[in-house]
Amino acid sequence: MYAMKYMNKQKCIERDEVRNVFRELQIMQGLEHPFLVNLWYSFQDEEDMFMVVDLLLGGDLRYHLQQNVHFKEEAVKLYICELAMALDYLQTYNIIHRDIKPDNILLDEHGHVHITDFNVATIVGDSEKATSMAGTKPYMAPEVFQSYLEGGPGYSYPVDWWSLGITAYELLRGWRPYDIHSNTAVEEILLMFRAEKVHCSSTWSKGMVELIKMLLVKEPDCRLSSLKDVQNSPYLANVNWDAVLEKIVPPGFVPNKGRLNCDPTFELEEMILESKPLHKKKKRLAKNKSKDIGKESSPLNGHLQQCLDTVHKEFIIFNRENSVH
């Protein structure tokens, strides 16, 4: 079984999101990893663009935080290991995800993590750095804000490892180490980073505290920012990394299989739950088409149609079964 994500073409054009959708498709069609939400097919019709991806029924980590799940240290330790392997894999393809957070980490039915949403991901060359401010403020690394405000040298892969540190802290404690929100000014955020220290819970093991603090080092060159760095952490010295990759290590938290583990009002879940959604849509499209016959097009409709034609022409159709790895 798969999940189907669909994006309305007209809405994407109006919100100037077409480029992000195309970038996400371009990135995802070249990836396949046990700890990613993998793309299997992409196709389109007159109204929408479709992405068929792995079906993960365990919900995202944000949902479970909102359900007041208390993640134990052993569970978060495995999440860090699995996510580190996924980030290392992305790094081999020169990809910075730029939006690692609980909302973008889905669980499968057994409790293993999978990174999703490559909407703001970017590809950088070997010596290149990214400069634009992208992501979700509470999880963004200091160098992203510095680059935006002070015209710094840019940023690279370490930003994802900072986000991993913030996420791990939040899962363990229920709140983030810095009181940053989407409306917090960049200047205020940078002052916060300079003035405040990360305070860890006294209930955490010394090894976990050290690991999170090394992920949250403000200077990117000194931060843990590779799988090798993480594997060299004394806290993870006894981890069987082959077993982690093969999903043999049992997760400390297993989602409830008797519930949906998500908000069913989201479009993605509606597409999974609705009976024969594409069959119903086909009938609606045919009905709308017959209504539109004879209508005069306005200049606005003409411009929109031109954009829709461009989207239709440039959309990437993908079938993993036909691709060569």
Closest CA relative to residue 141, chosen from 124, 129, 155: 155
The rounded distance, in Å, linking the Cα atoms of 59 and 154 is 34
Domain(s) labelled CATH 3.30.200.20 in the chain stretch across: 2-55+265-322
Residue 50, by phi and psi: left (phi above 0), alpha (psi -120 to 50) or beta? beta
Domain(s) labelled CATH 1.10.510.10 in the chain stretch across: 61-245
pLDDT for res 290: 58
Mean pLDDT of the chain, nearest integer? 89
Q: Which amino acid is at 270?
A: E
Percentage of the chain with pLDDT > 90?
Answer: 74
Least confident of 83-97, 149-163, 213-227, 236-250: 149-163
Instruction: Report, as residue numbers or ranges, the catalytic residues.
Output: 99
User: Does 305 score more than 70 pLDDT?
Assistant: yes
Q: Which amino acid is at 269?
A: E
The rounded distance, in Å, linking the Cα atoms of 310 and 319 is 21
pTM for this entry: 0.88
Helix axes 206-215, 158-173, angle to 10 degrees: 140
* Structure-token pair, residue 268: 């993605």
Distance, C-alpha 218 to centroid of its chain: 22
pLDDT for res 272: 46
Looking at the domain 2-55+265-322, which fold is it?
Answer: Phosphorylase Kinase; domain 1 (3.30.200)
Q: Give the pLDDT confidence of 149-186 residue by residue, as tens digits.
A: 887 789 999 999 999 999 999 999 999 999 999 999 99
User: Does 285 score more than 90 pLDDT?
Assistant: no
Q: Secondary structure of 9-36 in the HEC alphabet?
A: HHHHHHCCCHHHHHHHHHHHCCCCCCCE
Least confident of 96-100, 180-184, 276-280: 276-280
Least confident of 87-91, 256-260, 279-283, 313-317: 279-283
User: What CATH class is the domain 61-245?
Assistant: mainly alpha
H/E segment holding residue 41? strand 39-44
The rounded distance, in Å, linking the Cα atoms of 140 and 122 is 15
In the beta sheet, which residues pair with residue 51? 5, 42
43 vs 269, higher pLDDT: 43
User: Does 295 score more than 70 pLDDT?
Assistant: no
